[in-house]
Structure 1
Amino acid sequence: MSAMYFVAAGAVLALLFAATMFARVKKEPQGTPQMAKISAAVSNGATAYLKRQYKGVAIFFAVVFVILLIMAFLGFLSFFTPFAFLTGGFFSGLSGFIGMRTATMANCRTANAASGSLNKGLRVAFSAGSVMGFTVVGLGLLDLSIWYFFLHFWYTAIDPVASQEILIQNITSNLLTFGMGASSMALFARVGGGIFTKAADVGADLVGKVEAGIPEDDPRNPAVIADNVGDNVGDVAGMGADLYESYVSSIVSTSALAVAAGFGMQGVGVPMLLAALGVLCSIVGTFFVKTKEGASQKNLLTALRTGTYISSVLIAICAWFAVHWLLPAEHATGVFIAVISGLAAGVIIGALTEYYTSDSYSPTKKLSASSETGSATVIISGLSLGMLSTVAPVVIVGISVLLSYFCSGGAEDFNMGLYGVGVSAVGMLSTLGITLATDAYGPIADNAGGIAEMTHMPAQVRQRTDALDSLGNTTAATGKGFAIGSAALTALALIASYIDKVHQIDPDIVLDLSITNPTTLIGLFIGGMLPFLFAALTMDAVGKAAQSIVVEVRRQFKEIKGLMEGKAEPDYASCVDMCTRSAQKLMLAPALIAVIVPIVVGLILGVEGVAGLLAGTTVTGFVLAVMMANSGGAWDNAKKYIESGAHGGKGSDCHKAAVVGDTVGDPFKDTSGPSINILIKLTSMVSIVFAGLVVAVHLL
């Protein structure tokens, strides 16, 4: 119980730090009236999009709430589950909204700060990203704290003589279910935002850069504001909701596994306390993010990495004392190793993603060289790079799982090993505050570069914003790799929690999870197919939405007289509205499939079929997400590398070929790839919530 007071304190500390960073960014001057005007247009477009999205999502949440309430009346769920579902979704959406508002406020301020120095521009963008990072962890811990203290009070009041084991089992069982709300909101935010941002980006690139031959972020392009809006609703609001969901899911699933492992209240306190200590370590790390004028991309990357590495070292030290304080001596060291394995896996996967996607390293340089023989070879080389890049992350996650499982006592007790795997996921996400700050920095820097281009700022300023933007592409790609890696470990913990939940519902149930069991095998095949179906639907959605933007941009270039000469203004609002309507309509099918499929499989094939489904979705989803994210990131940075002067520079045939590759990679890295990691966790969360119904009424 005492550890939970640290969690509440961590929540308050994170939110106070986020508020401090927000105030610091807000004090920065906006720049010229034209810069403020463009920033306001982006902010208004992003706010309008999120308002429309939240109205649509509210209907989904209302319907699911009623379904969960009916199930609670029928005895399949606790009556707290429907309300936990709502709070999980609310805090997930709120974290994304706050991050988005901060990012749209910071874009012009970052561009203006870059006119002073590169370091100042970096600090403003990173401070704004910190608001996103610490809002996510603060709200996540706040939600956990409120529910924990309420449930502890409730169950103690109705049964004052209940044992600690029964009390903590009731609490963790209810905590586990609010992750479904967070997962659902994250999926809508990621899919809808991803469709919006990439439809605008593809439309702007194909007509503006390829057909009309005008620069990126040129104010004559009607889709340029929609493109900047998309960066915020997809890569800020969407990513924030995504990692909020990973963060809380890893903590609550590990807490549930602590009970199964026999660690009780003390075991539950370990992931909670690690998360709280991670807030403090992340805050310390932010003060080390700084650079000097004329810094290279490697220098800028080092500046951001210094902060994250210092935070990682600090949490590793703190974890030793936290684990030994809460757990028996014979188990503490093994669990500590599990924490370190997850933490190290996160750092290594981030470094590997950087290696495969940054133009500072050979894979992306070789990809840019393939543009000399046309766009077809760029596509082939990019796909090959993405596929190759899956090998190392799979090996790293595999090593982390083995270390976590056996060091935690898995050889003697299966449940203790699973608890170690869960703890490793928490270890990976423990410094999420600063990790997410470096990721949210990316779209802020991207928007700042767009504003610098649209307002014709001096060449030196545009060089600085271009450097920050290029760094942002790498940090965004690294952040996606980190999110996918954490999703894999969290999903493994959730699968274990699902099996444990089934045994809580029916202690006498005997499960045959071998692949020779037809129901398990069929579930495995369906699960293996699901990420591909999901990716197909989201890719197709981007294609359909982008087609409408291409037609609209062509129309405006043709019909608005003087637009190409810069004598008339394009109709930005029509592109923003078109992207918004398309995204809201096209996100429904993939989002609903993620919720419906595990329920249908469970009702037909039963618990064993669902277990197979979750395993298949986790394996293929993890690999496919890594491949898509890294291919897309490499295509993007290969284009940026050519624009810096390599292989003929901007306007060359190589550049045109690279733009085609980047256009294909956009939905890879910003829509389908990042959304798949939410799919992995949402299917597990839905399965856990509906486990009681599946056990009672399945057909086979």
Structure 2
Amino acid sequence: MQRFLTDYGIATSLTLGAVGLAGAIHLIRMVNSSDAGNDRMTEIAGAVQAGAKAYLHRQLVTVSIIATILFFAIGFLRDWPTAAGFVLGAVCSLAAGYIGMMIAVRANVRTAQAASVSPHSALRVAFNGGAVTGLLVVALGLLSVGFFFRAVEEYSGDTRVAINSLVGLALGSSLISVFARLGGGIYTKAADVGADLVGKIEQNLQEDDPRNPATIADNVGDNVGDCAGMAADVFETYAVSLIGAVLVGFLTAGADAREVLIYPFVICGVSIIGALLGIGFVNFTRLSPTRALVGGVVISGVVSAALLKPVTSSMFPQAIDFSGKLVGASELFNCVLIGIAMTFAAVVITNYFTSTAHRPVRRIAEACNTGHATNIIAGISTGHHATVLPVLCIAGSIWMCYSEAGLYGIAIAVVSMLSLSGIIISLDAFGPITDNAGGIAVMSGLDPSVRKITDELDAVGNTMKAVTKGYAIASAGLAAMVLFGSYVEELKAHLHQNFVFDLMDPRVMIGLFIGGLLPYSFTAYAMDAVGSAAGAVVREVRRQIEAFPGILTGQETPDYRQCVDIVTKAALRQMIMPALLPLIFVVGVALIPEHGLYLLGGVLVGTIVTGLFIGIAMTSSGGAWDNAKKFVEDGNHGGKGSPAHAASVTGDTVGDPYKDTAGPAVNPMIKVVNILAILLIPILFR
């Protein structure tokens, strides 16, 4: 068994990746075969599809120009296999987001129609639409990394060349993820905030009222931000974690310990089986939506752990020497369990801080009774409180994994955590599908009972989106630790000596300050972009309502295209500067003569620490504000139209760029900084 897994482990994993891809294709057919409703519903859904497709095409053109420049820079300055990896990572990241989004915009109208039949039917259609994205992420991630590694290794005949070229793939996927997260986030939140400020507060219109000129842009934004953006984000995290584990294994155990390089692929392949079983559980269970979705995660995690126990024992019958530390099967499997436990911890903790069933959200809703300011204060404090438990869990995981198996143990925990992405991302994409379904139900004039069902699912979806963002950021914290360790090990290999970062060295301390600054500057640009674009939407919606009074009476149709065009141009224009900030910081620091490498080590650690706190705080605050608004709209504290409702809308609009633009974009930004630092080492030591 050991011989088989060592010789054919990657091939077996790639086969399981193909099975995951086949599962995604099957779900696509299931979603497309569902009833799409009446002509009015398909017309509205068509407008959302067209807007989403047009935006992604324009984003592709913008990103391609930057990617082409970087491709040639990497090729000339480092090597062409790494440049080829960069292109592959970028293409697969885009593909995961694009395909997942196009299925989501087809699932939304079918979810609305299914909600007219039963809540469970709507749950199944929405979840299966989201599961397409989840399976695509893990299948494409595993297939792209595995095939590229094998191809370069066989072509060059050198394992180190193959592993080094994977750094390019990681950078390509990370860079595209930053653009997708920022561009999609700016688009969706500018439209959402603009629609709410005029529609809900000034004109007292309900959510997704067809008289609101920004409502189509809002629905388009849910898909380009929450579907395409999240898919690219987690594809990047998944691929980077897998690559990081292979790199750490090579640097600490050497190329002769082949099983160390194969094991991360096997973990990802086996976990696809767990994801498929978890998806099946959600489809066939009759539990409530929350219990069904969480149950799917539990099934996936338990099955994956059960399958990996004998696999790990078979692959490591004897201890492996990791830089002087002997590590066996039991230690590695303990790291797998720690990674899976971290997934459950992220789900439970984020659910507590963002669900309407728990005190933090209800405390924010209660604060709405005393005004807008107290609501904002309560939301910000909730986000800050929400950092404590995740950070303690991350710190504890690092400590335990390092004690068990050193840096490689941390890498294995990250891979096992990310290997559950197939089911976790299904939960995230479920949210925007149910949100859009509610919008289509209102705009097409379906019975109010349909909107009631989609709203209940949307409230669950909001919590699930917050949960998956917490999961992504927590995994990024662990993954960044692995990447920083890889940076140090690469320096040792190139300097042929022990390389230590001393906190008493002023260069390291200065680097820490510069790195700590980067997430603040990055999120500031992202927030500014949303505020600026939302202001333009507000002005356009006001203009249309004033110029055409018949819009509010239903006698005239709003010009939806104007708002779509405004947010499209704003997102594409304003995503560039913050997306390039990590490159500017890292390259600028690295090129400082004599001191750059010491400064850069501090930059990496500073970025990880402050980025982790900012990301968790922003996503938790935003999710809590959103669900506090929904809690009020459900009839609590005066319900819709009350002063508390107006205050809750303010909190939601502030929280929108927190949770869907700036906060989640910190995740890939952290990894871009670390990957770019690793990529620069051979260039600087030529």
Equivalent in the alignment of 1:215 = 206
4+ runs deviating over 6 angstroms: none
Q: Residue 588 of structure 2 aligns to which amino acid in structure 1?
A: V
The answer (yes or no) to whether the contact 2:279–2:296 under 8 Å persists in 1 is yes
Q: Deviations over 1:453-504 (max 9, x none)?
A: 1112112211111111111101001010001011111111111111222233
The corresponding residue for 2:19 is 13
1:542 equivalent in alignment to 2:543: no
Deviation at 1:290, TM superposition (A): 4.7
- Tell me: CA distance 1:292–1:563, structure 2 relative to 1, closer, same or farther (3 Å): farther
Query: Within 2, Cα distance between the matches of 1:461 and 1:250?
Result: 41
User: How far apart in 1 are the matches of 2:186 and 2:573?
Assistant: 10
Q: Is the 8 A contact 2:364 2:625 kept in 1?
A: yes
SS at match of 1:563: helix
Instruction: Please say if 1:494 is aligned against 2:452.
Output: no
Query: Alpha-carbon deviations, 1:184-204, whole Å to 9, x = none?
Result: 000000000000000000000
Provide the residue aligned with 1:161 in structure 2.
none
Contact 1:606 1:695 in 2 (8 A): no
Q: Would the alpha carbon gap of residues 254 and 335 (structure 1) be closer, same or farther in structure 2, given more than 3 Å must change?
A: same
Distance in 1 (CA, whole Å) between partners of 2:446 and 2:505 is 66
Q: 1 CA distance for matches of 2:603 and 2:297?
A: 35
Deviation at 1:291, TM superposition (A): 8.1
Aligned residue in 2 for 1:84: 85
Kindly provide the amino acid, as one letter, of the partner of residue 193 in structure 1.
Answer: G
| Residue 693 (structure 1) shift | 2.8
Aligned: 1:154 with 2:155: yes
Distance of 1:40 and 1:341 partners within structure 2? 45
CA distance in 1, matches of 2:103, 2:283: 20
Equivalent residues of 1:192, 1:234 under 8 A apart: yes
Task: In structure 2, give the amino acid aligned to 1:376.
Answer: A
Partner of 1:160: none
Letter in 1 for 2:350: T
The 8 Å contact of residues 175 and 672 in structure 2, kept in 1 or not, is answered as: yes
- The CA distance in 2 between the partners of 1:260 and 1:686, in whole Å, is 18
Matches within 5 A, 1:342-361: 342-361=339-358
Residue in structure 1 matched with residue 617 of structure 2 by the alignment: 627
Provide the residue aligned with 1:74 in structure 2. Answer: none
Q: Does 1:555 align with 2:543?
A: yes
Which residue pairs with 1:142 in the alignment? 143
CA separation of 1:292/1:334 partners in 2, compared to 1, >3 Å: closer, same or farther?
A: closer
1:210 Cα offset (Å):
0.4
**Is contact 1:502–1:695 with CA below 8 Å preserved after alignment?**
no
User: Structure 2 matches for 1:254-269, cutoff 5 A?
Assistant: 254-262=245-253, 264-269=257-262
Q: Distance in 2 between matches of 1:89 and 1:329?
A: 38
TM superposition shift of 1:602: 1.0
Pairing 1:578–2:566 present: yes
3-state DSSP of counterpart to 1:457: coil
Tell me what 2:97 maps to. 96
Residue 614 of structure 2 aligns with an amino acid whose one-letter code is L
Unaligned runs of 5+ residues in structure 1 are: 72-76, 157-166, 409-416
- Summarize deviations over 1:114-142 as a string: whole Å, max 9, x none: 11000000000000001101111111111
Map of 1:616 onto structure 2:
606
Asked if the contact 1:129–1:440 (Cα under 8 Å) also holds between the matched residues in 2, the reply is yes
Alpha-carbon deviation of 1:514? 1.3
Match of 1:458 in 2: 447
The answer to whether the Cα contact below 8 Å between 2:194 and 2:537 also exists between their aligned partners in 1 is: yes
Distance of 2:573 and 2:160 partners within structure 1: 41
Provide the alpha-carbon RMSD of the alignment: 1.3
Structure-1-length-normalised TM-score? 0.94
Q: Is the 8 A contact 1:10 1:141 kept in 2?
A: no
Identify the residue that residue 673 of structure 2 maps to in structure 1: 683
Name structure 2 gaps, 5 residues minimum. Answer: 1-6, 320-327
1:48 aligns with 2:41: no
Q: For the residues of structure 2 that align with 1:568 and 1:342, how far apart are their CA atoms? A: 56
The equivalent of 1:281 in structure 2 is 274
**C-alpha contact (below 8 Å) 1:189/1:234 kept by paired residues:** yes
Aligned residue number for residue 126 of structure 1: 127
Q: State the partner residue of 1:253.
A: 244
Q: What's the counterpart of residue 434 of structure 2?
A: 445
Matched, 1:367 2:358: no
Counterpart in 2 of 1:186? 177
Native 8 Å contact 1:118 1:292 kept in 2: no
For 1:506, which of 495, 508, 529 is the aligned residue? 495
Q: Could you tell me whether the CA contact under 8 Å between 2:384 and 2:617 is conserved in 1?
A: yes
SS in 1 for 2:98: helix
1:382 to 366, 379, 382: 379
Corresponding residue for 1:110?
Answer: 111
Higher mean alpha-carbon deviation, 344-353 vs 373-382, is at: 344-353
1:502–1:692 CA contact under 8 A, matched in 2: no
Note if contact 2:82-2:164 (Cα within 8 Å) is conserved in structure 1.
no
Task: Tell me by how many angstroms 1:380 deviates.
Answer: 0.3
Given that 2:491 and 2:499 are in contact with CA atoms closer than 8 Å, whether structure 1 keeps it comes out as: no
Matched-pair contact (CA < 8 Å) for 1:250–1:426: yes
Please tell me the residue identity of whatever aligns with 1:127: N
Partner amino acid, structure 1, of 2:273: L
Among 27, 30, 35, the alignment partner of 2:33 is: 27
Partner of 1:434: 423
Asked if structure 2 preserves the Cα contact closer than 8 Å seen for 1:200 and 1:549, the reply is: yes
Aligned to 2:4: none
Deviation of the 1:323 alpha carbon: 1.7
User: Is residue 333 of structure 1 aligned with residue 339 of structure 2?
Assistant: no
**After superposition, where does 1:581-596 map in structure 2 within 5 Å?**
581-596=569-584
Which amino acid is 2:330 matched to?
T
Contact 2:150/2:162 (CA < 8 Å) preserved in 1?
no
Partner Cα separation in structure 2 for residue 564 and residue 376 of structure 1: 30
Whether 1:531 aligns to 2:519 is: yes
Is 1:662 paired with 2:652? yes
State the number of aligned residues: 668
The residue type paired with residue 623 of structure 2 is G
Contact 1:91 1:143 in 2 (8 A): yes
Aligned pair in 2 of structure 1 residues 556, 291: CA closer, same or farther (>3 Å)?
farther
| Residues 492 and 499, structure 2, Cα contact 8 Å, conserved in 1 | no
1:173 shift after superposition: 2.1
Task: Output the CA distance in 2 between the equivalents of 1:280 and 1:248.
Answer: 18
In structure 2, how many angstroms separate the alpha carbons of the residues matched to 1:519 and 1:609? Answer: 5
Alpha-carbon distance between aligned partners in 2 of 1:322 and 1:40, rounded to the nearest angstrom: 47
How many angstroms apart in 1 are the aligned matches of 2:598 and 2:259?
A: 31
2:347 counterpart SS class:
helix
Contact 2:20–2:272 (Cα < 8 Å) also in 1:
yes
CA deviation digits over 1:367-405, x for unaligned, max 9?
100001000000001001100110000000011111111
- TM-score using structure 2 length: 0.96
Tell me which of 225, 229, 237 is aligned to 2:220.
Answer: 229
Instruction: Give the Cα separation in 1 of the matches to 2:236 and 2:450.
Output: 37
> CA contact under 8 A between 1:606 and 1:694: conserved in structure 2?
no
Deviation at 1:577, TM superposition (A): 0.8
| Deviation readout 1:233-267 (Å, 9 max, x if unpaired) | 00000000000000010011101111123162100
Please tell me whether the aligned partners of residues 223 and 572 of structure 1 are also in contact (alpha carbons under 8 angstroms).
Answer: yes
Aligned to 2:3: none
Q: Distance in 1 between matches of 2:681 and 2:439?
A: 48
2:510 to 496, 506, 522: 522
Equivalent-residue separation in structure 2 for 1:178 and 1:664 (angstroms): 35
1:113 positional shift:
0.5
The percentage of counterpart residues that share the same residue type is 41
Q: Does the aligned pair in 2 maintain the 1:291–1:303 contact within 8 Å?
A: no
Over residues 536-558 of structure 1, what are the superposed CA-to-partner deviations in whole Å (9 max), with x where a residue is unaligned? 00000100011100000000111
* Aligned counterpart for 2:65 among listed residues 59, 62, 71: 59
CA distance in 1, matches of 2:189, 2:656: 6
